[in-house]
Chains A and B, each alone.
Chain A
């Protein structure tokens, strides 16, 4: 019998099989009344409401979301850089301080990083009430830790021989640091921080869907009241904004890194960021006079060991973990496999352009909103949650794969096409082959992100740890809340370790160095 050999292009395509159980279950649970609703929903996409009040309300909502996103992005970037520097090993070696301090800070950061911003939002909402400020804090906590990790990694992996040489030559330590390490790590860090702005906008929208104001709240309200035309007004506005931000950031990266005057441009960008941040905080304050006044400090009674034990026994851990893992794996399979499969089926230029539009749309769709739309015509299940999770991630991974392929050289492609291979076979053996290993590396990282995001759909789809957390928060069962968050954190940290290992494995075997590009996803 022949031995099956799974080459990397096949490993990119194979996970697409996960779509079969998910679609089968969704189709089996479709209710006819919902199909009419879905048709109505789709029809409304081309006839969004043009009512002046609706448009103004959507713009105001987008304004609140944008200001939440910009404020939280700027604060988390700033704190992330500071914490990143002090959690790096090199910083403590350089100061001749205790190296365990950096390591300890890093370990501590793993916790805030492992909890999704929505969970932070729900937790803070229970103690501080509904307010845009809660949304800002909820984003700042995990994002600061995420930025800090990237900054610390960049500092620690840098070749410091030039730094040592400068210090030995008598350069002041601070000057030596700025001169040798700054230029080497700043491009990656700025590029990564730029990408976090996109993430902040998505996060602020999701938090809005859960009642924390902005365009997310507009979307959720209009969908729940089945006012699809109004919903599409807000949704189109959001899609165009995300598309505009992606384009702007791409152009910004080009502007920043393709000219020799990068140093000056970095300073200009920093000044711009500071101005935008101050403006957005002022705007947020004007839009919400009660931004800081609305805060109410609900006391949270810390629970005792006895209650924790009771809560532990009450929770159906096996099912909660199983649902969360099944959602993650199926959604990851779909998100990883569908982009290369669709590109393989439609490799022609028209197909590529069509997919670019679809993927932009997918990326802009907030995950809970996709879940709510699916729930219009089907019943809540982990498959609804899975598909909702997968849709946005298809958009993210599809863009990554396509951009990677577009940057390829043509040698291998020409070599395969010159054998007379048909376009699809040639695409498989050259384009997908060349990109497959780095794609799988990034896909491993994305799976880790997906695991975190199950919290978002769990709440909507009625499955997994996210759903249980919402239930426990609603009944103020703090013992359960503490246990579930600890469980979530453990799971995501294990996932992070596995994805890191797998990511390194693929990246190393593809002989490519992680670029700004890789960090962005």
Chain B
């Protein structure tokens, strides 16, 4: 079943053509790795899909509805892990994880979360799933390390309970052991019963050795899709072409 569709999408900024005529369809349940060197347009593509950036031309559809017309309720189904994390540094760990659930609740609940009076069971499960010690939950995010912050961003995404996960280099600050564990969690290969993991994934990564965990690979170069293959068909020369200088 088709979950996401991009139709002739172009993005221009100043004198830069950041995305060039992107046509892309992602089906429900697909695990897609997004490859490309820095500046190739991966983050722009993710921002276009989650609706935080509007295309200069072309259309983006999520579950057959154009993304710019989606209600906040429908937007909860698209969860994003941002490259720059975008955590709220002065709030504590649990309050930040709860931000993922804002779309499911009222303004009253939002205010309760700012005072620290919400029910935190689900958020504690998410914290546990990203292998962060439970005693960290009251800590202000500002005081944590880069790797810990990255895992809180993952936990916040889990708390959102979306259908589609957009992840922009979600393991860049993690050591190999944790990176592996988080990839397994995000891809739904190993995760605790108490949480839900999005079924469909588009993840930007810089680690070709992890590609085998995905079902499909998309390669972006200078704003254009130059590779779109099932992961088992990806060859060494494809990767070299993708990361070579233009």
> When the two chains form their complex, are residues B110 and A428 in contact, meaning their CB atoms are under 8 A apart?
yes
Q: Shortest distance in angstroms between B173's beta carbon and chain A's nearest beta carbon?
A: 17
Cross-chain contact B116 with A425 (CB below 8 angstroms): no
Asked if B111 is at the interface of the complex by the 8 Å CB criterion, the answer is yes
Asked if A4 and B102 sit within 8 Å, CB to CB, the answer is: no
A448 to chain B, nearest CB (A): 24
Q: Are B80 and A4 in contact (CB under 8 A)?
A: no
Q: Report chain A residues within 8 Å CB of B56.
A: none
- The count of residues in chain B whose C-beta lies closer than 8 Å to any C-beta of chain A is 39
CB contact list, B18-44 vs A, under 8 A: none
A412 touches B88 (CB 8 A): yes
- Bound-state CA distance A422–B74 (Å) is 11
Given A10-B114, A425-B107, are A417 and B52 also a contact pair (CB < 8 Å)?
yes
CA A410 – CA B156 in complex, angstroms? 19
Interface string of B91-117 (1 = CB under 8 A from A): 110010001111111110011001111
Q: Does A35 contact B (CB under 8 A)?
A: no
Q: Which chain A residue has the least Cβ–Cβ distance from B75?
A: A420
- How far, in whole Å, are A426 and B100 apart by their CA atoms in the complex? 11
Contact B79 A7 (CB under 8 A): no
CB nearest to A7 among chain B residues: B114
A429 touches B99 (CB 8 A): yes
Q: Which residues of B contact A52 (CB under 8 A)?
A: none
Contact with B along A1-32 (1 / 0, CB 8 A): 01111111110000000000000000000000
Chain A residue numbers with a CB within 8 Å of B102 are: 416, 419-422, 425-426, 429
- Would A418 and B95 count as touching, CB distance under 8 A? no
User: Which of B52, B100, B101, B114 lies in contact with A414, CB distance below 8 A?
Assistant: B52
> Size range of the interface on A?
20 to 34
* Complex contacts, B106 vs chain A, CB 8 Å: 422, 425
The answer on a CB contact under 8 Å between A5 and B92 is: yes
Q: Are B116 and A420 in contact (CB under 8 A)?
A: no
Residues of A within 8 A of B116 (CB): 2-5
Assess whether A439 is interfacial by the CB under 8 Å rule.
no
Structural contact, B100 and A419, CB atoms closer than 8 A: yes
Chain A residues lying within 8 Å of B82, measured Cβ to Cβ, are: 415
Check B52–A415 contact: CB distance below 8 A.
yes
Q: Which residues of A contact B100 (CB under 8 A)?
A: 419
* Interface check B86, CB cutoff 8 A: yes
B115-A10 in contact (CB<8A): yes
- Docked pose: A6 CA to B90 CA in angstroms: 11
Closest residue of chain B to A344, judged by CB?
B107
Nearest chain A CB to B22's CB is how many angstroms away? 19
Rounded to whole angstroms, the CA-CA distance of A421 and B104 in the bound complex is: 7
Q: Which residues of B contact A3 (CB under 8 A)?
A: 116
Q: How far is the CA of A424 from the CA of B105 in the complex (A)?
A: 11
A442 at the interface (CB under 8 A from B): no
Q: Are B76 and A419 in contact (CB under 8 A)?
A: yes
Can you list, as one digit per residue, whether each of B136-149 has a CB less than 8 Å from chain A (1) or not (0)? 00000000000000
Sample (9) of A-B pairs whose CB atoms are under 8 Å apart: A2-B117, A4-B115, A414-B47, A415-B86, A416-B99, A419-B80, A419-B102, A421-B110, A509-B90
